[in-house]
Amino acid sequence: MTILEVQNVSKQFGGLKALQDVCFSVNEGTIFGLMGANGAGKTTLFGVIAGQIRPNGGSISFAGKPLAGQRPDQICRLGLGRTFQIVRPFGNLTVLDNVIVSAMYGAARTHRLADATQAGRRALEDVGLAPLADQLAASLTLSNQKRLEIARALATGARLVLLDEVMAGLTATEVAEMTETLFRLRRERGLTILIIEHVMGALMNLSDRILVLDHGVPIAMGSPEQVVADENVLKVYFG
Amino acid sequence: MFQQLLFAAVVSGALYALVALGLNLVYGSLRLLNIAHGDLVMIGAYVAFWSFTLLGISPVVSLATTTVLCAAFGFLVYVVLLKRQLGSPALAQRLEANSLIIFYGLSVILQNGASLAFSATSRGYQFLDGVHSFGGVSATGSMLLLLGVAAAVTLGALAFLRFHVAGWSLLAVIERKDAAAVVGVNVERVQMISICAGFAIAGVAGVLVSMTQQITPFMGFPFTIAAFVVVIMGGLGNIAAGIAAGFVLGFIETFGVALTSATYRSILIYGIFVGVLLLRPQGLFGKAVQAR
Amino acid sequence: MTGKPFMIAAFAIVAGLMALVPQLGSEYWLGVAFIVAMWIALIQSWSLLSATTGYISLGHAVFYGIGAYVLVVSLDWMPVPYALALSGAAAGLLALVVGLPVLRVKGPYFVILTFGFAELVKNLVMLLETRLGQFSRMIFDAPSLEALYYAMLVLAVIATAIAAWTAQSRFGRGLAAIRENEVAAEAIGVPVTRLKLFAFVASAIIPGIVGGLLVLRTSYFAADQAFDPAVSFTIVTTAIVGGLGRVSGPLLGTLFLVILSELLWARFPQAYMMILGGLLIVFILFVPQGLAGLIRKGLGRA
So what's the ipTM on this one? 0.93
Residue pLDDT, tens place only, A53-66: 999 999 999 999 99
Query: Nearest Cβ partner of C191 from A73, A90, A91?
Result: A73
- Within-domain flag for B99: yes
Give contacts of C279 with chain B, Cβ < 8 Å.
105
Give contacts of B291 with chain A, Cβ < 8 Å.
13-14
Strands annotated E in B147-253: none
Please state the domain count of chain B. 1
Q: What angle do helix axes C61-74 and C229-242 make, rounded to 10 degrees?
A: 130
- Within-domain flag for B65: yes
Of A72-76, B125-129, C174-178, the poorest mean pLDDT is in B125-129
CB contact under 8 A, A81 and C187: yes
- The alpha-carbon gap from A230 to the nearest alpha carbon of chain C, in Å, equals 35
Q: Are strands A57-62 and A2-13 parallel, antiparallel or unpaired?
A: antiparallel
- Within-domain flag for B133: no
- The alpha-carbon gap from B292 to the nearest alpha carbon of chain A, in Å, equals 5
Across A195-212, average pLDDT: 91
> Which residue is closest to C184 within chain A, CA to CA?
A88
Query: Nearest Cβ partner of B283 from C102, C109, C280?
Result: C109
Alpha carbon distance, N-terminus to C-terminus of chain C: 19
Residue pLDDT, tens place only, B26-48: 888 888 889 999 999 999 999 99
Contacts with B8 (C-beta within 8 Å, 6 or more apart), sequence order: B254
Residue pLDDT, tens place only, A174-200: 899 999 999 999 999 899 999 999 888
B290–A contact, CB cutoff 8 A: yes
Q: What angle do helix axes B37-55 and B187-212 make, rounded to 10 degrees?
A: 50
- Within-domain flag for B126: no
Q: What is the pLDDT of residue A1?
A: 86
Q: What is the pLDDT of residue B196?
A: 94
- The alpha-carbon gap from A71 to the nearest alpha carbon of chain B, in Å, equals 19
Q: What is the pLDDT of residue C140?
A: 85
- Phi-psi bin for B31: left (phi > 0), alpha (psi -120 to 50), beta? left
- Within-domain flag for B190: yes
Contact B204, B153 (CB under 8 A): yes
- Within-domain flag for B132: no
- Any idea where the domains of chain C sit in the sequence? 25-226
Say whether A53 sits in a helix, a strand or coil.
coil
CA–CA separation, C129 vs C143, rounded Å? Answer: 25
Q: Are strands A31-35 and A209-214 parallel, antiparallel or unpaired?
A: parallel
Q: Is the dihedral of CA A171, A174, A179, A180 positive or negative?
A: positive
Q: What is the pLDDT of residue B283?
A: 55
Whether the per-residue pLDDT at B290 is higher than 80: the answer is no
> Which residue is closest to A13 within chain B, CA to CA?
B291
Strands annotated E in chain B: 131-134, 137-140
> Which residue is closest to B90 within chain A, CA to CA?
A138
Largest CA distance in chain B: 59
Residue pLDDT, tens place only, C231-241: 999 999 999 99
Q: How far is CA C134 from the centre of its chain?
A: 28
CA–CA separation, C121 vs C70, rounded Å? Answer: 13
DSSP at A139: G
CA–CA separation, B224 vs B198, rounded Å? Answer: 13
Query: Nearest Cβ partner of C173 from A52, A100, A152?
Result: A100
Residue pLDDT, tens place only, B48-91: 999 999 999 999 999 999 999 999 999 999 998 888 777 766 66
Confidence tier at C86 by pLDDT (50, 70, 90): very high
CA–CA separation, C268 vs C32, rounded Å? Answer: 18
Give the side-chain half-sphere CA count within 13 A for C233.
Answer: 25
Interface of C with A (CB under 8 A): 168, 170, 173-174, 176-177, 180-181, 183-192
Neighbours of chain C (3+ CB pairs under 8 A): A, B
Q: Which pairs from B174-178 meet CB under 8 Å and 24+ separation?
A: B174/B28, B174/B29, B174/B236, B174/B237, B175/B237, B177/B29, B177/B31
Whether the per-residue pLDDT at B288 is higher than 50: the answer is no
Q: What is the pLDDT of residue A33?
A: 95
CA–CA separation, B113 vs C45, rounded Å? Answer: 30
Neighbours of chain B (3+ CB pairs under 8 A): A, C
Q: What angle do helix axes B265-279 and B220-234 make, rounded to 10 degrees?
A: 40
The CATH number given to whatever domain includes residue B75 is: 1.10.3470
Q: DSSP string spanning C57-109? A: -S-THHHHHHHHHHHHHHTTTS-HHHHHHHHHHHHHHHHHHHHHHHTTS-HHH
- Number of A to C CB contacts under 8 A, please give it: 81
* Domain carrying residue B184: 2-115+139-285
Confidence tier at B282 by pLDDT (50, 70, 90): low
- Within-domain flag for B98: yes
- Within-domain flag for B270: yes
Strands annotated E in chain A: 2-13, 16-27, 31-35, 57-62, 65-66, 80-82, 160-164, 192-196, 209-214, 217-222
Contacts with A238 (C-beta within 8 Å, 6 or more apart), sequence order: none
CA–CA separation, C280 vs B111, rounded Å? Answer: 15
Contacts with B40 (C-beta within 8 Å, 6 or more apart), sequence order: B22, B70, B73, B110, B199, B202, B203, B206, B220
**∠ at Cα A49 (A212, A15), nearest 5°?**
70
Residue pLDDT, tens place only, B215-230: 999 999 889 989 988 8
Across A117-143, average pLDDT: 94
- Counts for chain B of helices (H) and strands (E), in that order: 12, 2
CB contact under 8 A, C189 and A153: no
Q: DSSP string spanning A65-112? A: EE-TT--HHHHHHTTEEE--SS----TTSBHHHHHHHHHHHSTT---S
Q: What is the pLDDT of residue A38?
A: 83
How long is chain A? 239
Whether the per-residue pLDDT at C230 is higher than 70: the answer is yes
One-letter-per-residue 3-state SS of C252-281: HHHHHHHHHHHHHCCCCHHHHHHHHHHHHH
CA–CA separation, C57 vs C200, rounded Å? Answer: 10
Whether the per-residue pLDDT at C66 is higher than 80: the answer is yes
How long is chain C? 302
CA–CA separation, C163 vs C47, rounded Å? Answer: 8
Query: Nearest Cβ partner of C180 from A73, A92, A102?
Result: A92
Q: What is the pLDDT of residue B284?
A: 53
- The alpha-carbon gap from B167 to the nearest alpha carbon of chain C, in Å, equals 27
> Which residue is closest to C168 within chain A, CA to CA?
A113
Give contacts of C185 with chain A, Cβ < 8 Å.
90, 101
